[in-house]
Amino acid sequence: MHKLAQLDRRYVWHPFTQMRDWERAEPIVLVRGKGAMLEDTQGKKYLDGNASIWTNLHGHNHPKLNRAIERQLKQVAHTSALGLANEPASLLAEQLVKTVGRPLRKIFYSDDGSTALEVALKMAFEFARRTGRSRAPRFLSLDGAYHGDTIGATSLGHIDLFHKTYGGLLFKSDKAMSPACYRCPFNRAKPERADARTTRKCQWECVGKVESQLKRRKYAAMVVEPRVQGAAGMVMHPEGWLKRVSQAVRASGALLIADEVMTAFGRTGEVFAGRKEKVVPDFLCLAKGLTGGYLPMAATLTTQSVYDAFLGEYEEFKTFFHGHSYTGNQLGAAAALASWELLHQPKAKVRRKSMERVLARELDSLWALAAVGDVRREGLVAGVELVADWKTRRAFALKDRAGIRVCEAMARRGVLTRPIGNVIPLLPPYCTTDAQLRRMVRVLRESITEVLGAGQV
């Protein structure tokens, strides 16, 4: 075993990993990357099939991003945002606020997705109290919601496997029905193979459920992952759900928190997923791709009225008492500015659209496999759901480790991604070539066949 693998096994405790399983195999130790490719200590090359857990936008070792960080490094790597401003964080704030548009006017920096949510949560909580909406503000979030792992963000989550253990530590948030069409109890019309299809049309029962919840209680805010719920298993919301729910949230007087930690920066086809339905939230949480996937940095954008609720005389203590040592970090902000520029190049937008078409075409071939229940895609996010029986949609039991085994088979063939239960996500970096995209899906197909059989529909 390579020395670095030995060191890892001896000392490192990995996130979301059963370490007993980890200790049984030699870990892949990555040492370099270029474009969509990564390379391990043995010189074996892999395609980065999930953009390094949904963070990387333009590829690894990108010359423009490298240069931006090197340039900033020659100035200063980090200074505190507590009482001090800095150049790249100010420039980045201007870019983001100008692009997002009204009414989002202010930006609060933090470190990662969880802290971006934590900031929105605390601001919305205090806003609801200060404006007299509620003395004990509560939040509404979706079934299957995942907003991060800090205690506040965990409290907003509704994935039992991740969140139940910590129940005693968390505050209570209410769970709203998620518009997960594949397992919709009301309407099984979408998406389908012909013989499993029913003809009943969607009546937006799921929206009705959210509307009645919003009427029952004065929530401080509702939190949503616009268009795609990532950790729920790349659950894609039907067109129109976000618009309808955002209107219901507005009508109820609650605020809307959009967690675009995964969906922002072109992932779903627009710079922000909410734009696809012309929805502008009261809080926009960004992280992951903000720095192109280079450095940990996050941002929570909010409105002038939320900001104003925290203004007062020093001794009134209306200050937003929250911050992190690395808030507004210069290297992160410099990378984010360079990434932002790359994202908006006209040829990059055209390329992403073309990638979407190739990915859609390739994914279509997976419907033929009996072990595939659903193939979901929005922009450059795909989720392939493996099932024990495609006709009844019976899921594989967790102990079958279907998703894990398929991803292990993919890694042996040189494509890296990480399963979410029985769902295999594919989120190619935007520099992925057509040939690489085709290879990603081919490897997924071969791996499903190897692990779960070649049964056809």
Ligand X SMILES: Cc1ncc(COP(=O)(O)O)c(C=O)c1O
Residues that bind ligand X (CB under 6 A): 112-114, 117, 146-148, 225, 230-231, 259, 261-262, 287-288
Nearer to ligand X, 261 or 301 (CB): 261
- Cβ distance 138 to 103 under 8 Å? no
Q: How far is the CB of 297 from ligand X (least distance, A)?
A: 10
What is the pairing mode between strands 221-224 and 139-142? parallel
Nearer to ligand X, 48 or 112 (CB): 112
CA distances from 419 to 158, 214, 383, 426 (A): 18, 33, 9, 10
∠ Cα 209 215 229 (to 5°):
45
- Cβ distance 379 to 356 under 8 Å? yes
Nearer to ligand X, 100 or 358 (CB): 100
Rounded Cα–Cα distance for residues 84 and 363 (Å): 49
Nearer to ligand X, 262 or 335 (CB): 262
Nearer to ligand X, 113 or 137 (CB): 113
Rounded Cα–Cα distance for residues 84 and 23 (Å): 45
**Contacts for 1 with CB less than 8 Å, ≥ 6 apart:** 9, 26
Q: Residue 262's closest CA among 16, 39, 52, 46?
A: 52
Q: Residue 264's closest CA among 432, 359, 381, 385?
A: 381
CA distances from 298 to 7, 75, 343 (A): 31, 22, 17
Query: Nearest residue to ligand X, using CB?
Result: 113
Nearer to ligand X, 119 or 369 (CB): 119
- Cβ distance 264 to 276 under 8 Å? no
Q: What is the DSSP string of 181-218?
A: GGG-SS---SS--GGG---PPP--HHHHHHHHHHHHS-
Nearer to ligand X, 382 or 443 (CB): 382
Q: How far is the CB of 153 from ligand X (least distance, A)?
A: 7
Instruction: Verify cis geometry, omega within 30 degrees of 0, for the bond prior to 88.
Output: no
Residues in the chain: 457
- Cβ distance 423 to 395 under 8 Å? no
Q: How far is the CB of 133 from ligand X (least distance, A)?
A: 25
Q: Based on the number of CB atoms within 10 Å of its own CB, is 369 exposed (0-12), middle (13-18) or buried (19 or more)?
A: buried
Q: How far is the CB of 147 from ligand X (least distance, A)?
A: 5
Q: Residue 159's closest CA among 91, 222, 231?
A: 231
Nearer to ligand X, 288 or 405 (CB): 288
Rounded Cα–Cα distance for residues 185 and 206 (Å): 10
Q: How far is the CB of 56 from ligand X (least distance, A)?
A: 13
Q: Which two tokens stand for residue 96?
A: 């983001």
- Cβ distance 110 to 261 under 8 Å? no
Nearer to ligand X, 147 or 445 (CB): 147
Q: How far is the CB of 93 from ligand X (least distance, A)?
A: 20
Q: How far is the CB of 288 from ligand X (least distance, A)?
A: 6
Nearer to ligand X, 227 or 445 (CB): 227
Name residue 91's amino acid: L
Q: How far is the CB of 290 from ligand X (least distance, A)?
A: 10
β-pair partners for 47: 37, 415
Nearer to ligand X, 327 or 447 (CB): 327
Q: How far is the CB of 425 from ligand X (least distance, A)?
A: 11
Q: How far is the CB of 139 from ligand X (least distance, A)?
A: 14
Name residue 82's amino acid: L
Q: How far is the CB of 379 from ligand X (least distance, A)?
A: 15
